[in-house]
Structure 1
Amino acid sequence: MTFSLRRMLYEDRYKLILAACQDIRRHREEVAKTVIASQLLDALDVDVPSDALLSHIVAESLLRRIDRNLLSGRNLYLQVEKRPQIDLFTLLQRAIPAVPQGYALANQYLVHAMRQSSTPTLLEIGIGKGLQVVALLRALARDPGKIERIRVIALDPNRTALTEGVAAIDEVRAELPFDIEIYPLVKLIEVCEDADYAHFEALAEGSLSINAAYTLHHTTGPDSDARTRLLRRLRALKPRVFTLVEPSSDHDTEHLTRRMHHCWQHFATVFDLVDRSDASPDEKFAIKEGFFGREVRDILGTSDAFRCERHETLESWLLRLKKSGFVPYPEIELDVDLPEYCRSSVSSGLVRLSYRSVPIIAVFAFAGEAG
C-alpha cells in the first residue's frame, strides 16, 4: 500500500513502523517484532521528545497485538501519573484550540435554531461535565429570542459524569431569563429503544435540537452501517439542527496498515500542536501520554471486537449524514476564533478546523428536513 499524502511528521520513525505493519499483514511477525521492539523506551517522562514518545506508544500498542511477552519485565511508566480521561480532556482543550472551537461553533448553530422557538428542547448526547451545555445556555441568555422554557434531555452512560453535568446546569439557573427542565438518562445512544425515542419526541413538542460532540465515534454496532442507522433514527426525530463534532481520521478501518498511517498522521499532528501551546511541560506530557496515549493504545493495541476509539474521516461522516436523510443547515454568520497557525474552512453544513493542512476537527450542522 502507498500513501500519496504530504511529508509526514517524524517521517523516519513513521516509515520504520509502517514497514513493520506491512510485515505483520504478511504474517512476518518475527521480522516485525524486532523492528517494533527497538522503538520501546525503558521509562517515560516529560523530557521524552514527541517523536520518540509517539513511536514508543505505537510500538507498545502493536506488540500487544503480536507478542505481549516482549513487554513483560520492562520498567515502563514509572514516572507516569494516570489521571481520569475526562479530566485530561478538559486539560487538553487549552492546548488544542480546535477542540473548544468545535464546541463554540456547534453552539452558534444551536443558538440560531433554538432561539426561534418559545419552548425548544435539546437532546445532548454525551453531556460529560456539562461545559458545552452551560456555555450554550449562557449564550442563549444573552440573546434568548422567543425562548420562554428550555428542556434538556441529558444522555451519558457514565452516571457520575451525568450527575456532574446536571449539577453544572443547576448552578446557572439563576442567570437564565427562561425556565429550564432537565431530563437525565444514563444510557448509550446506540442502545436507546423505541420507547426512548418516543419519549424524546414527546418532550420535544416539535422543536428539537440535537448535539453530539466528540461522542459518536465511540458508538458500536454489528456492522459498518450501524452508525448510519443511528443517524437515520435521529433524523426521524426531525431536529431543527443536528450538530456533530468529531475528530477527522480513519481509525475505524480493520486494515492495520491504513489504520496505523492515519493514526500516525493524526496524533503526530496533534502532538506538534500540543508542543507549541503554552501548557506546562507536565501538562503537555499528561495530554500526550495520558489522554492521546490511551487512544492510540486502543486504536492499535486492542482487538477489533473491543476497540472504542473508532474515528472516521469528515468525508465518511458527510456520506453517512447524506445517506440518513439529513440536509445541510442553512448558512449562518459564524465567529471562528483560532490562533494564526491554525486554519478553518466553512462550507455548507461543515466547518473544517485544520493544522499543517491536516483536518483535526470537523463541525457538522444538519437538519432533519429542509427548512
Structure 2
Amino acid sequence: MAEQPDLFHHVFDYIKDMLMEDEEDVGMFREEDIKAKEQSFKEVLVREDPDFTGTSQARQVNTSAAAVLETLVESSPTQNPGNILAPPTVLVASSNVEVDYSLKDSKGKKHCHEEASTAEYLEETQSKKQVTRYSEEASNLSEILDKVTLCPPEEDIASHTEESRLQESVAGGSSGKKVQDQRKHVVGLKRLLHQCALAASSGDDLAAKEILNSIRLQSSPHGDASQRLGHYMANAIEARLYGTGSTLYANSCRMMESSLADTLKAYEAYFTAVPFQRMSNIFANKAIYRQLTGANKVHIVDFGISYGFQWPCIIQGFSAVPGGSPNLRITGIDFPEQSPLPSNTVQKTGSNLMNYCRKFNVPFQYNCMARKWDSIQFEDLKVKEGERLVVNCMYSLRQVSDEIGEDSGPRDTVLNLIKKINPEMLVLGFLNGNYNSAFFTTRFREALSHFSTLSDMFETTLAHEEKSRLVLEQAMLAKAAMNVIACEGAARVERPERYKRWIPRIMKAGFVQIPLPKEILEEIEAKVRLQYHQKFFVREENNWMVQGWNGRVLYGLSLWKPVNQ
C-alpha cells in the first residue's frame, strides 16, 4: 500500500522529543550520554519555540478509518525482536508513575505517584522544545527518523531485495574451491569454539586460553560471518574465564557505543532488510485494532513497552474513528534499568505518547512501572470497570527469570497476573531460542547454532562494509553472547525457549488460543515473499505465525484469550 506521509510526518516530533532533551534533564540517557548527544547534534537544536498551548485542534485527517487501519499497521516498528534499541535489563529498584492527560483540560494534567525520587521528571517544560531550523545534517537525521519510525516505502524494500539477490547471484558465480575452503574454515572455527567451551567448562583454563589464541588468529569483527561470530563468542568465553561477564554485560547496557544517528541508521537497515519487526507490527496492530473496534474506553497493558514505538500508529487510527476517538489508557511495563532513576525510560515514553495524543485529539492516560514483573500486583494496573482491555507482550517474557525446579516460577506468576486482568485478547511474541539450559556446554552449543543463523542472515542481507551491520551485530550478537555465555544466576537475563514450550505454561494459566486471522496471515506471507530475501519465510504452524531464515524458525507469535471468555 502506498505511503501517506501527510498522515505520519509528525512521528518525527515523537522521536525527536524522546532523543533531544535539555542538558539539565536526566531523561533516558545519563548525563554523559546527553553531552555526547548534544555534541553530535549541535546543529540540530538551534532555538526553543514558545510554549505549546495544548489547545490547538488535531490536524484534519482526510482519510477513512479503514484507510488508517491499512496504514497504521505498517508504520512504526514494535519492540524489536533483537532488542536493538531496548533499554538495559539489569534488575535494580522499581518505580511507578501515573500520568493523566485529557484534551478537555487545555493544559493537560499530570499526576505522578512514585516510589523513587523522580517526581519532578515529567514537567510541563518537556513540551517546549521544537526544532525550527535544520542544517543539512538535521535534514538527513529527519529523513532517517521518518524511515525508522514509519514503514519504508515498498519500492525501497523491493530495491533492497533485488540488490541482495544480485549480490547472491554474483557470489554464486565464485569458484567451487573458494566456497569449499570457506566451509572448511567455518567448520574448523566452530570446532575450536566447542573445544574452548569444553575446556572452560571443565576448569582447564590453561587449555581454554591456548585455544582462544588460535580462535583469535582466525576471527575478526570486520571479517566474514564466521570470523565475526567467532570474535564475539571468543570475547564471551574469555569473560567467563576471567569472571568479568556480568560487569562487561552491564557496561554494554549502559554505554552508547555509537552515535544516535548511527543507531537509527542501523535500525533502518534492519527494518528494511529483515522483515521480522515489520511483520510483527502488522500482526499485532491489526489484531488489536480489530479487537477494539467500537470501543469507548480502551486499556492496553504493554509488557515490555520500551520506547513505545508501537502505539503512535494505534493512536492515529483511533483519531480517525467516526464519532470521535475512544478514551485510551496505556499501562507501560518494562524491566528496571541499571540507573539511579530506573523508571526514566518508561516515564519518558508516557510523556511522548501524551504529547502525541494531544496532537491527534485522543484522550489519554498513562500508568507505568519499571520493576521485576513477578512483583507486580493486580492493583498496580488500575483496571477500571467498562474498559476494553488488551494485553500486549512482544519478545520480552524470555527475560523473566525461570526458576528451574519450581512448580510456579516468575514466568507463571506473570501469566497468572495477566489471567487475573482478564483481557479480551493477549498478544504474545517469542524469540524461538533453545539456549536456556542450566548446563553451560549445552547452552553454548545451542547459542552458537542460533547466533550462526543470525550471522548468516546479516552476511546475506547487509553489505560487508556497512557500518550499520556492525552496530546491529554488537546489539544482537555480541551483547547477547556475553550474557548467555559469560553470565550465570540472576545476571543471566537472556533465557529464551522454543515457542512450543510456552504453550502448556500459557494454557495452565487459563488461556486458549484464538485462530489467526487468515487474511492478515496471507497479507504478511505475500509481503515477505515479494519484498524480502527468498531465504526469509513466514507461515502458520498450529495456530502460530512463525518467521525465520533459511528454514530455521526464529520468532513465533500468537493470540490468546481467557478460557472463561
Measured against the shorter chain, the TM-score band is 0.7 to 0.9
- Map residues 1-371 of structure 1 onto 2, 5 A cutoff: 10-40=186-216, 47-67=222-242, 82-83=257-258, 87=263, 90=267, 92-141=270-319, 148-156=326-334, 157=336, 158-174=342-358, 176=360, 178-193=362-377, 197-200=378-381, 202-203=383-384, 205=386, 207-220=388-401, 222-223=403-404, 225-278=409-462, 281-332=466-517, 333-334=519-520, 335-336=523-524, 337-338=527-528, 339=532, 340-369=534-563, 371=565
| Two-structure CA RMSD over aligned residues (Å) | 3.4
Name the aligned partner's letter for residue 284 of structure 2. A
Inter-partner Cα distance in structure 2 for 1:368 and 1:116? 21
Counterpart-to-counterpart distance in 2, 1:84 and 1:249? 30
d(CA) in 2 for partners of 1:161 and 1:81?
Answer: 15
Distance 1:305 1:14, change over 3 A: same
> Taking structure 1 as reference, are residues 111 and 247 closer, same or farther at Cα in structure 2, changes over 3 Å only?
same
Q: Which moved more, 1:35-44 or 1:257-266?
A: 35-44
Give, in whole Å, the separation in 1 of the partners of 2:325 and 2:379: 24
- What secondary structure is seen at the aligned counterpart in 2 of 1:305? helix
Q: 1:299 to 1:349 in 2, by over 3 A?
A: same
* Deviates most, 203-212 or 354-363: 203-212
> Are 1:238 and 1:369, in contact at CA under 8 Å, matched by a contact in 2?
no
User: Once the two structures are superposed, what CA deviation does each residue of 1:308-367 show, in whole Å capped at 9, x if it has no partner?
Assistant: 111221112223212222111233231313224311122454210011111112212211
Partner of 2:384, secondary structure, is: helix
CA distance change for structure 1 residues 81 and 199 in 2, over 3 Å: closer, same or farther?
closer
| Secondary structure at the counterpart of residue 12 of structure 1 | helix
Q: Which amino acid aligns with 1:98?
A: F
SS at match of 1:253: coil
Contact 2:318 2:326 in 1 (8 A): no
TM normalised by structure 1 equals 0.82
Q: Which amino acid aligns with 2:444?
A: M
Once residues 211 and 9 of structure 1 are traced to their aligned partners in structure 2, the CA distance between those partners, rounded to angstroms, is: 43
Q: Call closer, same or farther: CA 1:367–1:162 in 2, change over 3 Å.
A: same
C-alpha distance in 1 between matches for 2:184 and 2:391:
36
Which has the higher mean CA deviation after the structures are superposed, 109-118 or 290-299?
Answer: 109-118
Residue pair 1:330, 1:348 contacting (<8 A) in 2 also: no
More divergent stretch after superposition (96-105 vs 294-303): 96-105
Structure 2 unpaired stretches of 5+ = 1-182, 245-251, 337-341
Mapped to 1, the partners of 2:369 and 2:489 lie a distance apart of: 28
Match of 2:129 in 1: none
- The alpha carbon displacement at 1:181 in A equals 2.1
Alignment check: 8 A CA contact 1:151 1:203 kept = no
- Which amino acid is 1:102 matched to? S
Which residue identity lines up with residue 538 of structure 2 in the other structure? S
Larger CA deviation: 332-341 vs 137-146: 137-146
Maintained 8 Å contact 1:242/1:366: yes
Is the CA contact (8 Å cut-off) linking 2:315 and 2:362 kept in structure 1? no
Question: For 1:125 and 1:20, how far apart are their aligned partners in 2?
Answer: 38
Percent same amino acid at aligned positions?
Answer: 15
SS in 1 for 2:489: coil
Amino acid at match of 2:549: Y
Q: Which runs of 5+ in 1 are unaligned?
A: 1-6, 70-76
1:268 Cα offset (Å): 1.6
User: In structure 2, what is the Cα distance between the partners aligned to 1:318 and 1:348?
Assistant: 11
Q: Deviations over 1:62-117 (max 9, x none)?
A: 12222469xxxxxxx9xx98148995784544443213322331222211222253
Task: Describe the shift of the 1:19–1:143 C-alpha distance in structure 2 as closer, same or farther (beyond 3 A).
Answer: farther
Work out the CA distance in 2 between the residues paired with 1:246 and 1:16. 31
Once the two structures are overlaid, the 10-residue window that deviates more, 96-105 or 259-268, is 96-105
Aligned length: 352
- CA deviations over 1:136-173 (Å, ceiling 9, x no partner): 33344456799622211122335332234223323432
Q: Which structure: larger Rg?
A: 2
The TM-score, its normalising length taken from structure 2, stands at: 0.56
Q: Distance in 2 between matches of 1:243 and 1:324?
A: 15
Partner of 2:139: none
In the alignment, is the contact (CA less than 8 A) between 1:243 and 1:363 conserved in 2?
Answer: yes
Please say if residues 220 and 227 of structure 2, whose CA atoms lie closer than 8 Å, have aligned partners that are also in contact: no
Question: What amino acid maps onto 2:192 in structure 1?
Answer: L
Question: Residues of 1 paired with 2:387 and 2:205: CA distance?
Answer: 57
Q: Which amino acid aligns with 2:546?
A: R
Distance 1:93 1:216, change over 3 A: farther
CA–CA distance in structure 2, aligned partners of residues 311 and 369 of structure 1: 26
Change (3 A) 1:218 1:94: farther
CA distance in 2, matches of 1:143, 1:264: 48
Q: CA deviation at 1:278?
A: 4.8
